[in-house]
Structure 1
Amino acid sequence: MLKKTRCLGSEAQTSQEKYQIIQELRQKFKYTLDEILPYTSLKRSTFYYQAQRINRRKNKDEELLRLIKEVKSKHPCFGYRTVTLKLRSQGIKVNHKRVSRIMRENDLSAHMYNKQRRKYNSALGPQGKKAKNLLHRRFDTHLPFQKMVTDVSEFRYGNKTQEERVYLSPIKDLCTDEIVSYSISKHPTTAFVVKSLDALIKLRPKLNYRMTLHSDQGVQYQSVQWRKKLKENRIFQSMSRRATCLDNAPMESFFHTMKVELYHNKEYTTQEELVNAMISWISYYNNERIKVKLKGKTPVEYRHLALRNIV
């Protein structure tokens, strides 16, 4: 208490800091304002001014908190930067630092979850022909449908036995972060990954540059069927170096995000329940999940914008 009363007489303390100390003393020791003020260099009028100022800020914070909760109810994994962009898209002028403070004070910050699970190894099986690494971790591009990445990941349901699992094969555009095509199957066959490639080929617009499709060294991507399909459609094939997951970091990042938001800490009883959840989440990711990287736009919105700029 003596330390705090000395601070009240210090000129180094701001009026706001003195106000907060006085309030702490009043609350803890039940002192009246008349008993404390004579020992401070703070005027009564300044004390009441600070009280009004803090109350105004509190009221404004309560309104912003309500808006933040509305955004978080629809997008629970949004961090403060993405929440700020979403609020600004609704015409609300707000600073990202203020959003960060309010979210932190109300335990609304995004909580990342990192649980190591045994990863599906697509390299197991008969080996085919490997391609060179054309991307060399140069993942940035302003051109849609120029640099694409793909991989296979495993999802389990029910009792998580060998039979209770499905596989996802998405193809992601590095310009827009959109999952342009994907397939889901009970078995990670070559036909399964070719299905997502066929969907990509149908959706690809006519552009004056060639596409590069990057993957790991999975046996499906070394197969004659996969390589032939790429060659027929003038798509360059690129592969990561062996056991180097960072060569395909954007795809690894996508799977991490998907499993954090959709899969970890959640149980799916049936295959149908899990597959429906996967389809819904990918649609949400493409059409509703805005990104700081995309200047507050969704992947689909950014693709439309990028294609218009090319045309």
Structure 2
Amino acid sequence: MATRVSYPVELKMKAIEMRLAEVPVKEVMEKLGIRNESQLKTWMRWYRKGEVHRLEQPVGKQYSYGKGPGHSTELEKVKAENRFLKQQLELPKKVQGIGTEVEAEVVIAWIESIREEVTISEACTWLGIARATYYRWKAAVEMKRPDPTVEKVIQLCTQHKFRYGYRKITALLRSEGPINHKRVQRIMQCEGLQCRVRIKKRKTTGQPAQPAEHLLKRKFHAEAPLQKLVTDITYLPFGNKMLYLSSILDLYNGEIVAYSIADKQDTCLVLDTLNQLPERSNMLLHSDQGSVYTSQNYQAVVKGKGIIMSMSRKGTPADNAPIESFHSTLKSETFYLEDLMSTTTAIVEQTVRNYITYYNSIRIQTKLNNQSPMDFRRLAT
């Protein structure tokens, strides 16, 4: 372990004088026998800050900031008191408002101007305020000052006509100095400076309304025809353009009682399907919470027909499993089986119509005692 060296005050002052005379550091260290270059730099820092009293501190002891070892003689004590009284007399000339109410901005400006001469604690003592009060005032004043970064971000966004997002604005700012991209993003959000190019557009298919309750509750068995119905829309991406199939299935025998094909998935598609149902009260019609089913137009027509509306829970396709299963079966037994993955629009429509006719009148189902839906309905009635 290295031995710590204690240098006398006279040697320290001599080293400071030599450095002030621009004598090289190495030469000062050689002539005065100073081992560590950092020690010499510390003495010079204390001298420039007016902390000459710290040159007298013993090795290993640090005086409180702004306080020395105490006054060793009465002469030093008298000098310190005279200095304090002189500052007290000159203070009212520098800071207006002493004796009535001190203004925070003036106090902060004055203390900053004498930082090289006295410590903050001494300045606060002369003013008669607590050191914590000074720092509280300083923080409040700095918050009121305009942030140059905010002004620069506003300038850049305006200059580029809001074509840039926060990443490009950050890149421009970093050419002048380091800055965090999160701060730039936060400033742009608070000031409403986001990029205005390619704003996300959402297609509205109707006025939204409140979704209906889940009344079906996965009870897919019906006691009579047209008692419980389920409906949904599926994609038909097999022709020259995208087609959509809207169908309604009767849970009594699994029969497709209504369907429509169109090239737009809008309210007109589901209304056309709905209007194919016969007039009958107390029918339960279940669907998901798609925008076409929650639209005001659709719900008004459903209520006008005396139909009870039910909707699946959000993000739960299993609540509408029968119609989902039918659409899957339709595609599997036609387009996928016959490899009709790329054909004409007319063939797609004709394939769907032929399959629904086959499904209702010919295709037998095990749950229907190996009968087709239409045969099951006729024999039951």
> Which of the five TM-score ranges fits, normalised by the shorter chain?
0.5 to 0.7
Q: Alpha-carbon deviation of 1:230?
A: 1.2
Counterpart of 1:199 in 2: which secondary structure? coil
Match of 1:54 in 2: none
Match of 1:244 in 2: 316
Contact 2:206 2:297 in 1 (8 A): no
Contact 2:360 2:374 in 1 (8 A): yes
| Displacement over 4 Å in runs of 4+ | 122-126
Residues 228 and 281 of structure 1: is their aligned pair in 2 closer, same or farther, counting only changes over 3 Å?
A: same
- Name the % identity: 40
Match of 1:152 in 2: 233
Match of 1:261 in 2: 333
The reply on whether 1:301 has 2:375 as its aligned counterpart is yes
Contact 2:206 2:292 in 1 (8 A): no
Match of 2:260 in 1: 183
Q: Alpha-carbon deviation of 1:222?
A: 0.7
Distance 1:127 1:231 in 2: 16
Superposition map of 1:30-69 within 5 A: none
Counterpart of 1:231 in 2: which secondary structure? helix
Count of aligned pairs: 177
Letter paired with 1:240 = S
Which is greater in Rg?
Answer: 2
Distance 1:249 1:137 in 2: 8
Q: Alpha-carbon deviation of 1:256?
A: 1.1
Contact 1:170 1:183 in 2 (8 A): yes
Distance 1:234 1:304 in 2: 25
- The partner residue of 1:194 within 271, 275, 283 is 271
Superposition map of 1:1-311 within 5 A: 127-158=208-239, 164-201=241-278, 204=279, 210-264=282-336, 265-306=339-380, 308=381
Counterpart of 1:181 in 2: which secondary structure? strand
Match of 2:37 in 1: none
Distance 2:209 2:312 in 1: 15
Contact 1:123 1:217 in 2 (8 A): no
Counterpart of 2:243 in 1: which secondary structure? strand
Q: Alpha-carbon deviation of 1:241?
A: 0.3
Counterpart of 1:187 in 2: which secondary structure? coil
Letter paired with 2:376 = Y
Distance 1:157 1:181 in 2: 22
Counterpart of 1:127 in 2: which secondary structure? coil
User: Structure 1: any 5+ residue segments left out of the alignment?
Assistant: 1-121
Letter paired with 2:235 = E
Contact 2:238 2:340 in 1 (8 A): no
Letter paired with 2:221 = D
Residues 267 and 219 of structure 1: is their aligned pair in 2 closer, same or farther, counting only changes over 3 Å?
A: same
Counterpart of 1:262 in 2: which secondary structure? helix
Q: Alpha-carbon deviation of 1:216?
A: 0.2
Contact 1:144 1:173 in 2 (8 A): yes
Q: Alpha-carbon deviation of 1:126?
A: 5.9
Letter paired with 1:269 = T
Q: Alpha-carbon deviation of 1:268?
A: 4.0
Contact 1:153 1:169 in 2 (8 A): yes
Per-residue displacement from partner, 1:208-229 (whole Å, max 9, x unpaired)?
A: x611000000111111111111
Per-residue displacement from partner, 1:50-72 (whole Å, max 9, x unpaired)?
A: xxxxxxxxxxxxxxxxxxxxxxx
Q: Higher relative contact order at CA 8 Å, sep ≥6: structure 1 or structure 2?
A: 1
Distance 1:305 1:210 in 2: 23
User: Structure 2: any 5+ residue segments left out of the alignment?
Assistant: 1-202
Q: Alpha-carbon deviation of 1:170?
A: 0.5
Distance 1:187 1:139 in 2: 29
Distance 1:251 1:123 in 2: 25
Distance 1:139 1:158 in 2: 33
Distance 2:273 2:211 in 1: 20
Match of 2:167 in 1: none
Distance 1:138 1:272 in 2: 37
RMSD across aligned positions (CA): 2.0
Match of 2:67 in 1: none
Q: TM-score, normalised by structure 1?
A: 0.54
Distance 1:157 1:142 in 2: 37
Q: Alpha-carbon deviation of 1:259?
A: 1.1
Q: Alpha-carbon deviation of 1:262?
A: 1.2
